Amino acid sequence: MVKRILVVCTHNSARSQMAEAYLKRFLQGRAEVYSAGTDPRGVHPMARIVMEEEGYDLSTHTSDPIERFLSESWDYVITVCDAARESCPYVPARVNLHVSFPDPSQGDIETFREVRRAIRAWAEEFARQI
């Protein structure tokens, strides 16, 4: 049975976009993965660059509001930033998880790479567990 996963952060610009890309690859066909933001602002250019370094193309990704997904059924809803955890409306799911990753948006390209590495490691482990 294919799982449905929604990854949420504040702006849906970096962390949730990276997590969505990794989970899609690591769960290949075992899950439908989406991402959303409590205050979407568009995909961050440096997120596109660092993911492209690993062969991921975020050019087709959109930055979507959480409200778009509220009426859907989810197996997992995962918040990846503390602000989203606090402000996200309750989204019913079989499992609601929170994993905190630092916000790379105020840093340089190396900050984005560090966050990318942390998200990749988490996503690989998460994919093995479900």
Q: Is 9 a catalytic residue?
A: yes
Q: Is 118 a catalytic residue?
A: no
Using CA atoms, how far apart are residues 104 and 113, in angstroms rounded to an integer?
A: 9
Nearest to 38 by CA among 16, 21, 61: 16
The residue from 81, 84, 119, 123 that is catalytic is 81
Q: Is 71 a catalytic residue?
A: no
The residue from 5, 7, 9, 123 that is catalytic is 9
What lies within 8 Å, CB to CB, of 52 at 6+ separation is 58
Nearest to 37 by CA among 17, 10, 59, 16: 10
Using CA atoms, how far apart are residues 86 and 46, in angstroms rounded to an integer?
A: 25
The residue from 19, 46, 51, 88 that is catalytic is 88
Mode of pairing for the β-strands spanning 93-98 and 74-79: parallel
What amino acid positions are annotated as catalytic residues?
Answer: 9, 81, 88
